[in-house]
Amino acid sequence: MSFKSTSLSIFIFLILLSSSFACCTAWRYGSKPVRIAAQEVLLIWDAERGVEHFVRRANFQSENSPKDFGFLVPTPTQPKLSEVPDRVFDELGELIKPKVETRRETKVSFMPLILAPLFATAGSSTKDMAAHWGGVEVLDTAVVGGFEVSVLRASESGALIAWLEENGYDARPEIRAWVAPYVEKKWIVTAFKYAADADQSHAPLTRASVCLSFGTEAPFFPYRVPRDIRVNPRDGSLLRLYFAGRERVLGEFEGGSGQEWNASTKFSNHDEGMVDILQIALGEFGDHPGAPDANWLTAFDDETWPGGGEDLYFRSSQDQDPITPPTIIKAEIRMFHLPLDLVILGLILAVSLYRMGARRKQSRG
């Protein structure tokens, strides 16, 4: 597989020790930046085998859709790549939806008949390969989810930057600063390249679900992004992260201060529905003997993305109580109409009849 030497808009997704993507963009100079309009991530932690599976789906948008763009994914070990049906995220969305409970009620309406017309219209209810490229070793190439992929090992960051530039990726100073620590730690970098349709513009560029599976010591999400794409929290977009494991978890930043991730926990519970979802997500993962024991799902919403200067690690939460959204009560109301004007007329008629009867009795007496 080869990469054309054309300038690319780059999305850099850092997925470090656990299958997670952080996002940073590197756009072609002079063009409008590509941004993530919304991102969904499924992080599956196989604690027994020390393997993390990261599945990501994102919408990419640009005011003038570039002809091509790409993103980079650092991981501590060489990942195995696979495509995942987008319906995984649809299933996850259904799973965390509030339950709907229907309650049937009977109510009496005293609306006068004379007013009824006024309310009549009211609303109703590939193969492994090792090729050396000036300090960069190409470990694997593949086509996954519409992306051309190269799995790279770099001896030092300068060699990786040279490879990116030679293969058409814009390696601006902010990206150089961002990638250097990961190369220093000897992580693998996976480069994705996508070519947009020539007639595509103003619409989301792609919605692809790609899974990277790799060994790691602890679940991790690369929340850190280059300085030039960090946004004010008020201007952020939605990042929804699903964590599938054995228990409820929380996210903490790597600085060692114990600072928790300021994301809202929308859902956290054991659900047997995860068995089917994991089979969908990992069904094509050939070397995996079966779905991991990861039936506890925790869903986080972060509306300040991207704005992080540190990466996230996940650990067991001291609070293991389930979190579920409040039940939505759907009322089915049967209305019994007893118009007030008819009630009054009936009362008047009854009183009149009573009085007439009383007068008759008096006259007979």
Residue 281, in any domain of the structure: yes
Q: Which stretches in the chain have pLDDT values below 50?
A: 1-37, 65, 121-129, 198-206, 285-287
Vertex 194: Cα angle to 193 and 198 (nearest 5):
140
Contact by Cβ (8 Å): 33, 63: no
Is 91 a member of any domain? yes
Do the domain assignments include residue 78?
yes
pLDDT value, residue 59: 59
Q: What is the pLDDT of residue 201?
A: 47
- Looking at residue 116, its pLDDT comes to 59
Q: At what angle do helices 87-95 and 273-282 cross, to 10 degrees?
A: 160
Within a domain: residue 358? no
Q: Please give the residue range of the domain that contains residue 62.
A: 9-98+126-324
Indicate whether 337 belongs to any domain: no
Q: Is residue 357 part of a domain?
A: no
Task: Dump pLDDT digits (tens) for 39-68.
Answer: 889 999 999 899 999 988 765 555 554 555
The CA-atom distances, in angstroms, between 172 and each of 154, 164, 177 are 18, 11, 9
- What gap in Å lies between CA 206 and CA 70, rounded to an integer? 11
CB-based contact 99:172 (threshold 8 Å) = no
Residue 339 lies in a domain: no
Residue 1 lies in a domain: no
* pLDDT attached to residue 124: 41
What is the H or E stretch that residue 25 is in?
strand 22-26
Task: Please state the domain count of the chain.
Answer: 1
